[in-house]
Amino acid sequence: MSISFVLSECLSGIGEYNIKPYCEKRWLSLRDEIVWSGSDRIGYSREVRLSDATWKPIGEKIGISFNELGIEFEYEFKILILALYTSGIGEGMPPLKWSTIINGARSLMTIARFLCVKRIHSWIEFDKLNNLKTSHYCAEAISYVGANDKPSLCVSINTATKWLKCYGLLGKESLNLISDKFTPIVAAYQINGRKKHPVIPCGVLKKLISKVIYELDLINEIRDEWIRRQSDDIRRIEIGQYKIVNGRYRSICGGGDAAVTAKIGRIRGLVNVLVLAFTGMRDGEALALANDCLVTRESDTGELHYSLLSELTKTTDGSQKVEWVCGEIVSKYLTLISTLNEVVYEKATAIIEYLSSEISDEYLNELQQGLRYKYIFTVNYSLTSCGFYRMNKRPNSAAFNISDFFKIPLNTSDIEQLDRLGCNYKSVAPNNSDRHQPYKVGDYFNFTPHQFRHTFAWFIIANRLGELDDIRYQYKHLWQNMTLVYAQRGFESIGELLNIADEFSEHITSLTVNEIVEVSLDGNIAGHGGARFSSRIKEMLGNQVEENVQPHFKDINQLVEFISKNSNDLRGVGHGYCTKAKDCKVKNVADPSHCVYCDGYIATPRHLTYWKSIQLNCEDKIKKIESAPDGVREKLHSFSMVLKSNLEAARVIIEQLDPLRGVDQA
C-alpha cells in the first residue's frame, strides 16, 4: 500500500498540511501507485490505483467516481480523500470514516463539475478569484445543483468546504463566501423542514409483530419437510445424482412444492423485522449479523438472558464486536432461521467437496464466501439449487419490503398518537412525493427500517423502562445528544404517562401497606419506625378501645384499607420505606445510616439483600483504607467514618430482619 508515499509527495507543511498544486510531472510519476490491495468482499483479489476512475477501498461497501472532473480537480479530490482517510482534518486527528468522506466529497463534486463548465479547473484556481466573482459563481452553483430543493446537500457542502480550508485548497475569505450562500438554506431547513423519522403507532406495531409471528409459525410447521428434502438432495450430491446448469448446481428432482420454497424464503425478512423491532439495531448492522450471533446466558436465579453479537462500524474506528440485548421472541426465531441456514451450509459444503471441478469459478467463490462469513440473512433457501445472496444493501423483495408485504391501515387511535407525538407524516425522504404529508384514517402505514430504532427508544423512555444512558448503551452512541434524538419523544410522553401512573398509585400503596402489616404481625420488620409500627398494629388488632381515641378493626383487611386511605405520605427509598414524605428531615437518603434510627423509617425482608450489599461493600472499603499508608488513611478519615456509620446501620437492620445471621456475625 502506497498511501503514505503518495501523501508525502503531495502534501506540504508540518502539523497543518496543504495539498500541493497539481503538477503534471508529479502526477505521471504517481498515477500507477497502488493505494489499496487485497481480497474484496466477495473473495476476489483486487487493486485500486491512484489513477482509477472509481475508488472503493478493500472491505468498504460503496465507492466514489471521479468521472466528469478535470484532471486538476481529480488530483485535488483524490489527495484530499486519502488525507482525510488517514489523518482526518489534520495531523494527530482521528481519520474520518469512508462513508463520511464520500458523502462530503460527492457533494463538493457537484460544485466542482459546475466550475468545470465555467472553465475553472481546480479549487486553488477558484480561491484566487476576486470576491465578486466568487460570490457570483456560488449563487449560480446554487441554481445549477438545485440546492434550494436539496437542503441535505447544502448541509453536506457546508461541512465539506471546511475540509478544503483545512488542507489549503480554499482560503478563509472564499470559505466565508460559500458559507454565506449555503447557510441560510441550511438554517431554514433545520427550522422548518427537518423532521425525525416517525415512530410506529403502538397499535400498528402490535399488529405487525402479530402478523410476523403468525407467518414464522407457518414456516416452523413446514420446517421438517423442507429439511428432509434438502437432506435428500445432499445424499444425491454425494452419490453423483445432480445437474450442472450454466456452471451452477441444480437438483435432479425439480422444484418440488413451490409453495414450500416460497414460504421458507420469507423467513429472512420476517426475522429481520423482529430484530429491528426488539433491539433498536441499525438496519445495516442487522443485515450483517452472523448465523451464530445469538448469545444466551443463565443468571444466578436460573433466568435466561439473550443478546445478539454484531459488528459495529458507524461510531467506531474500524469494526468492533458489540452485544445488543434482545428477548425470548427474537431468540426463538433466530434459532429457527439458524437451523435452516445450517442445512444450506451443509449442502454448500457437499457441492464444494464433490462438484468443485464441474462448477464455475464464480459459483465456487460464491459458495466459499457464503461459508466463510455465514451472514444470517444471505442464505438462498431454494430446493432446486444452493447459493448465497450479496447483502450490500437491504433487498426490496418479500418481507424485507415491509410496507408492501404488510398492509396495515391506520385507525383513529393511531392518527391521534402520531399527532400527539408530532410525527404524523408519511415520509421524511427528500425525494418522496409523500414527504411530510399527513396520514388519514385508512391509509396504510409506510414502514422504514429506521423507524423501529426511533420507536424502540421512545417506548423505553416513555414507559420508564430505562433512562437515557440505557438507550445510549443499547444504541452504542458515543455522545448523549445522539441518543436524545431518538429518545426526545419519549420524554415528551412522560407527562402523559404520569397521568396514567396516578391511577395506579392507590393500588400500589395498598399493596405496600399490606406487605408492611403482614411482616409487622410476624415481627419481621426493622428500623425505629418499624418497631413502633409493629407495636401499634398489634394494639389496633388486639385491643378494644374507645372510638374517639383509636379505631378498632375486626380483621387485617379493614386495617389495611384504613391505613391505605391515610398513607399519602408513604414513599419507597432504595433501602426501605419512609412514612414522613415532605416532613422528612433527612436530605440524603442515599446515605442509609441517616434513616435507620428515624421513627418514620421501616425496612422489610424485601430490603434485606440491599442491606447485606451495604455491609459487604463497607467492610471491603474499610479494610482497604485501614491497610493503606498513614498519609492516605488521614486523607480518607472522613470517608472512613461514613463507611463505619453505614456498616453499623447495616448490622442493626440485618440483625432485626435476619437474627441468626446477625448473631453469627457478632
pLDDT-derived band at 487, boundaries 50, 70, 90:
very low
Where does a domain end: 367, 388, 403? 403
- E strands within 118-240? none
Supply the angle between the helices 449-462 and 468-475 in degrees, to the nearest 10: 150
Residue 610 maps to a domain:
yes
C-alpha cell at 566: 391515610
Q: Are residues 42 and 117 in the same domain?
A: yes
Q: Are residues 177 and 273 in the same domain?
A: no
Residues 291, 375: contact at Cβ < 8 Å? yes
Window from 250-259, 279-288, 457-466 with minimum mean pLDDT: 457-466
Where does a domain end: 193, 215, 245? 193
Structural domain boundaries, residue 529: 496-665
What span, in angstroms and rounded, lies between the C-alpha atoms of 234 and 241? 10
Summarised one tens digit per residue, pLDDT across range 553-600 is: 555 566 556 665 555 566 777 788 887 766 676 655 556 777 887 877
604 backbone dihedrals φ, ψ, rounded to 5°? -125, 175
Residues 469, 481: contact at Cβ < 8 Å? no
Residue 438 maps to a domain:
no
Q: Are residues 529 and 556 in the same domain?
A: yes
Summarised one tens digit per residue, pLDDT across range 50-76 is: 999 999 888 787 889 998 899 999 999
Residue 223 maps to a domain:
yes
Summarised one tens digit per residue, pLDDT across range 357-408 is: 999 988 999 999 999 989 999 999 999 999 998 876 777 777 788 888 899 9
Identify the helix (H) or strand (E) that includes residue 626: helix 608-626
pLDDT at residue number 635: 84
pLDDT at residue number 248: 94
C-alpha cell at 596: 435507620
Residue 483 maps to a domain:
no
3-state secondary structure of 602: strand
43: left (phi over 0), alpha (psi -120 to 50) or beta: left
| pLDDT greater than 70 at residue 195 | no
pLDDT-derived band at 662, boundaries 50, 70, 90:
very low
Q: Are residues 178 and 248 in the same domain?
A: no
| pLDDT greater than 70 at residue 276 | yes
Q: Are residues 273 and 354 in the same domain?
A: yes
pLDDT-derived band at 468, boundaries 50, 70, 90:
very low
Residues 533, 602: contact at Cβ < 8 Å? yes
Answer with the residue of higher pLDDT: 584 or 250. 250
Summarised one tens digit per residue, pLDDT across range 109-137 is: 999 999 999 899 999 999 999 888 888 88
Residue 470 maps to a domain:
no
387 backbone dihedrals φ, ψ, rounded to 5°? 180, 180
pLDDT at residue number 666: 41
| pLDDT greater than 70 at residue 480 | no
* % residues pLDDT > 90 (the chain): 30
Q: Are residues 605 and 535 in the same domain?
A: yes
pLDDT at residue number 452: 86
Summarised one tens digit per residue, pLDDT across range 497-551 is: 444 445 455 556 666 777 777 777 667 787 777 777 777 666 665 544 344 445 4
**Which of 3-12, 321-330, 418-427 ranks highest by mean pLDDT?**
3-12
C-alpha cell at 93: 486527528
pLDDT at residue number 599: 77
pLDDT at residue number 565: 58
Closest CA to 579 of 621, 632, 527: 527
310 backbone dihedrals φ, ψ, rounded to 5°? -135, 175
The neighbour count for residue 573, using CB atoms within 10 Å, is 17
Answer with the residue of higher pLDDT: 484 or 321. 321
| pLDDT greater than 50 at residue 332 | yes
Q: Are residues 171 and 225 in the same domain?
A: no
Evaluated on CA atoms 208, 211, 213, 215, the torsion sign reads: negative
What is the β-pairing status of strands 243-245 and 379-380? unpaired
pLDDT-derived band at 485, boundaries 50, 70, 90:
very low
pLDDT-derived band at 455, boundaries 50, 70, 90:
confident
Per-residue pLDDT averaged across 598-622, rounded?
Answer: 85
| Domains of the chain: total | 3
| pLDDT greater than 80 at residue 348 | yes
Give the contacts of 152 (CB within 8 A, at least 6 positions apart): 189, 430
Per-residue pLDDT averaged across 132-160, rounded?
Answer: 83
Q: Are residues 546 and 643 in the same domain?
A: yes
Q: Are residues 169 and 273 in the same domain?
A: no
User: Mean pLDDT across the chain, nearest whole number?
Assistant: 80
Does the pTM surpass 0.85? The reply is no
Q: Are residues 391 and 503 in the same domain?
A: no
pLDDT at residue number 488: 44
What span, in angstroms and rounded, lies between the C-alpha atoms of 112 and 123? 8
| pLDDT greater than 50 at residue 182 | yes
What span, in angstroms and rounded, lies between the C-alpha atoms of 440 and 490? 24
Summarised one tens digit per residue, pLDDT across range 71-122 is: 999 999 999 999 999 888 876 677 888 888 999 999 999 999 999 998 999 9
Torsion of CA 536, 540, 541, 546, to 10 degrees: 160
| pLDDT greater than 60 at residue 146 | yes
* Identity of the amino acid at 241: Q
| pLDDT greater than 50 at residue 225 | yes
pLDDT at residue number 497: 43
What span, in angstroms and rounded, lies between the C-alpha atoms of 352 and 236? 14
| pLDDT greater than 50 at residue 494 | no
Evaluated on CA atoms 326, 329, 334, 339, the torsion sign reads: positive
Residue 628 maps to a domain:
yes
pLDDT at residue number 540: 62
Residue 212 maps to a domain:
yes
Where does a domain end: 383, 403, 423? 403
34 backbone dihedrals φ, ψ, rounded to 5°? -85, 120
Q: Are residues 365 and 219 in the same domain?
A: yes
Residue 389 maps to a domain:
yes
Q: Are residues 242 and 300 in the same domain?
A: yes
What span, in angstroms and rounded, lies between the C-alpha atoms of 389 and 403? 22
